[in-house]
Structures are given as C-alpha cells and as structure tokens.
C-alpha cells in the first residue's frame, strides 16, 4: 500500500515537472499522428495486394498497430525515461540521494521521470485497438478481452524487467545510453507479427529482446488465436523476469561506486 502511494507521488512529481513544457505536447502529437498514419498506410498498401499476410487479416494487423502504439507509449511515458535517468544517475552520482532514502530504491528509480506527452501514443493506440475490436466484431469475446488485458500486463512486466536489467548494467559499464537505443530499434520490429520474420529474427525478438510477448502475443490473445499454453508461459515468464531483474538490480547496487565528488 505504501509502495503504491509512493509510486503515485513519484509519478505525480514527474507529471508536474513535464507539464512545464507545453510545446512538447504539440510536437509529440504531430510526431505520433505521422507515425500512426504511416503504420496504417503500410497496412493499407499490403492489403491492396492481398487479403492475408502470414495468416493475419487486415483488421488483426490494425489491432497489432494499436497495441504497438499502446505498449510503446506506456514504455515511453515512464519506464524508458526513468531508466535513462537511472543510468545518468549512476554516471553522475545523483543516484546517491535515492539510495539514502528509506524506501524501495527500485520503485523510486522506476518512477523517477515521466514523459507525460507520450500519453498521446497510449491514447491513439487505445483508440486504434477499440476500432479494430469493433471491426473484428463477434470474434472478440469477454474472455478474450480479459486474457488480452492479462497478457498485456505480463508483456509490460517483461519489457520493464528487460529494460531494468539493461539499465542496471550501467553499474559496471558506466557509459551505456546506446543500449536503450538498441532496444528502441528492436521494438520497431514489433510493428509486424513476429511470425512474419525469418526464424533467427523471430527467435531474437522472443528471447533476446522480448518484444514478441509485449505485442504479438497480446494481439493473438485478442483475436482468439492464442494457445492456452502460450498464455501460461507468458505469465510465468513475466514473474520470472520480475524476480530475476529485481535480483540483478540488487546485485548491481552492490557495485555502485558513485561518481566521486
């Protein structure tokens, strides 16, 4: 309970900080609309030639784009900026203050920075998902929607844990900003179902950078194509990732030396 209160207050602070820069909203809106338009246009082009792409229909792919924006938005609102801030904190030594606080340092660093205007992506993604669901019609039942929600949360947990592990590496390798850029690049590949890619890339997107679990799997759940086994695997994997990343984070903390004054 106390942790939740802390998350809320920390996020609130981040939002207040970000609200100082209103112009960013319009820039973000512009950027997001262009991005979404391009993604939908690509789907339109593909489906002007064919009715199906690797077993996926047009509406299913629209749903995928929606999830891509939703998850990407959620990652970019809090997780990515907070992880960047964490790595900067390790390099500059500003993490010192966080570590002297009688609160869970992982919670504090994970909610440190809020890029509030990225919520535009979350909103646009949600709208696209709703539109896709409407068009898919009766194929999406209540149980599918519930499972979708569950898998989405699990997928977010996996991505969060993955980014936390990457950021924790900063305790050993001090200059490491680029590692998050690599993640962003790999994330772009999630625009399309991972099944469309050659086996090696599919494997990479599932195991190395777990984008598949955050985007493809939730959409498969939504359209009712997911095997129950995969659902269970995803949830179990999320728990394993959360526990593992927390252990790694604590291990990394022992190696924190701070920047000397």
Partner 1 sequence: MTAASIRVTDLRKTYQVPEREGGLRAAAGSIFRRSTKSVPAVAGITFDVSPGEIVGFLGPNGAGKTTTLKMLSGLLYPTSGEATALGHVPWRRETDFLRRMTLIMGQRNQLAWDIPVIDSFELNRAIYGVSRAEYNVRLDELVELLDVGDLVRKPVRNLSLGERMKCEIAGSLLHRPEMLFLDEPTIGLDVTMQRRIRSFIAEYNARTGATTLLTSHYMGDVEALCRRVIVIHHGSLLYDGDLTGLVERFAPRKTISIDLEPDQPALEPGVLAGLAGGPDAVVQHGAERVTLRVPRSETAAVTTRLLGRVAVRDLVVEEPPIDEVIDLVFAAGPSDAAERAETAAAQPVA
Say whether residue 258 binds partner 1 (CB under 8 A): yes
C-alpha to C-alpha distance for 178 and 184, rounded to whole angstroms: 10
Nearer to partner 1 (CB atom), residue 48 or residue 257: 257
Q: Write the CA distances from 76 to 25, 106, 168, integer angstroms.
A: 14, 18, 18
Mask for 180-199, x = binds partner 1 (CB under 8 A): --------------------
Q: How many residues bind partner 1 (CB under 8 A)?
A: 27
Say whether residue 2 binds partner 1 (CB under 8 A): yes
If phi over 0 gives left and psi between -120 and 50 gives alpha, with beta otherwise, what is residue 182?
Answer: alpha
Nearer to partner 1 (CB atom), residue 113 or residue 234: 113
Say whether residue 35 binds partner 1 (CB under 8 A): no
Nearer to partner 1 (CB atom), residue 225 or residue 246: 246
- Using DSSP, state whether 53 is helix, strand or coil: strand
Q: What is the C-alpha R_g of the chain?
A: 19
> For residue 133, which of 217, 59, 54, 47 has the smallest C-alpha distance?
59
Nearer to partner 1 (CB atom), residue 93 or residue 244: 93
What residues from 87 to 106 belong to the interface with partner 1 (CB under 8 A)? 92-94, 96-97, 99-103
Minimum separation from the CB atom of position 17 to partner 1 (A): 5
Nearer to partner 1 (CB atom), residue 14 or residue 218: 14
Minimum separation from the CB atom of position 245 to partner 1 (A): 19
C-alpha to C-alpha distance for 179 and 240, rounded to whole angstroms: 22
Say whether residue 23 binds partner 1 (CB under 8 A): no
Burial 155-172 (b: 16+ CB within 10 A, else e): bbbbbbbbbbbbbbebbe
What are the residues facing 53 on neighbouring strands?
56
DSSP string, 226-238: --HHHHHHHHHHH
Minimum separation from the CB atom of position 260 to partner 1 (A): 6
Tokens matching residue 261: 């004054």
Mask for 52-91, x = binds partner 1 (CB under 8 A): ----------------------------------------
Say whether residue 145 binds partner 1 (CB under 8 A): no
> Which backbone phi and psi does 26 adopt, to 5 degrees?
-70, -40
> Which backbone phi and psi does 115 adopt, to 5 degrees?
-100, 80
What residues from 3 to 22 belong to the interface with partner 1 (CB under 8 A)? 5-6, 9-10, 13, 16-17, 20-21
Nearer to partner 1 (CB atom), residue 85 or residue 191: 85
Nearer to partner 1 (CB atom), residue 21 or residue 30: 21
C-alpha to C-alpha distance for 18 and 120, rounded to whole angstroms: 14
Interface ranges with partner 1 (CB under 8 A): 2, 5-6, 9-10, 13, 16-17, 20-21, 92-94, 96-97, 99-103, 108, 254, 256-258, 260-261
């Amino acid at each position: 309970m106390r942790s939740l209160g802390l998350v809320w207050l920390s996020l609130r602070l981040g939002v207040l900080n970000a609200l100082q820069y209103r112009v960013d909203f319009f820039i973000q809106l512009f950027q997001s609309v262009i991005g979404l338009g391009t993604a939908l246009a690509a789907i339109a082009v593909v489906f002007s030639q064919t009715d199906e792409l690797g077993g996926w229909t047009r509406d299913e792919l629209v749903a995928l784009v929606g999830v891509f924006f939703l998850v990407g938005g959620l990652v970019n609102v809090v997780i990515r900026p907070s992880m960047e801030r964490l790595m900067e904190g390790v390099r500059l030594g500003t993490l010192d203050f966080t570590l002297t606080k009688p609160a869970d340092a992982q919670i504090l660093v994970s909610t440190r920075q809020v890029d509030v205007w990225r919520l535009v992506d979350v909103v646009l993604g949600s709208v696209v998902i709703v539109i896709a669901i409407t068009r898919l019609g009766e194929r999406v039942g209540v149980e599918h929607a519930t499972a979708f929600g569950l898998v989405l949360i699990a997928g977010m947990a996996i991505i969060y844990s993955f980014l936390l592990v990457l950021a924790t590496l900063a305790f050993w390798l001090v200059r490491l900003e680029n590692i998050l850029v690599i993640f962003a690049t790999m994330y772009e590949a999630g625009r399309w179902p991972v099944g469309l890619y050659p086996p090696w890339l599919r494997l990479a997107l599932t195991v190395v950078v777990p984008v598949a679990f955050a985007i493809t799997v939730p959409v498969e759940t939504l359209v009712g194509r997911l095997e129950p086994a995969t659902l269970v695997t995803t949830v179990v994997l999320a728990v394993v990732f959360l526990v593992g990343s927390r252990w790694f984070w604590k291990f990394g903390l022992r190696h924190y030396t701070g920047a000397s004054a």
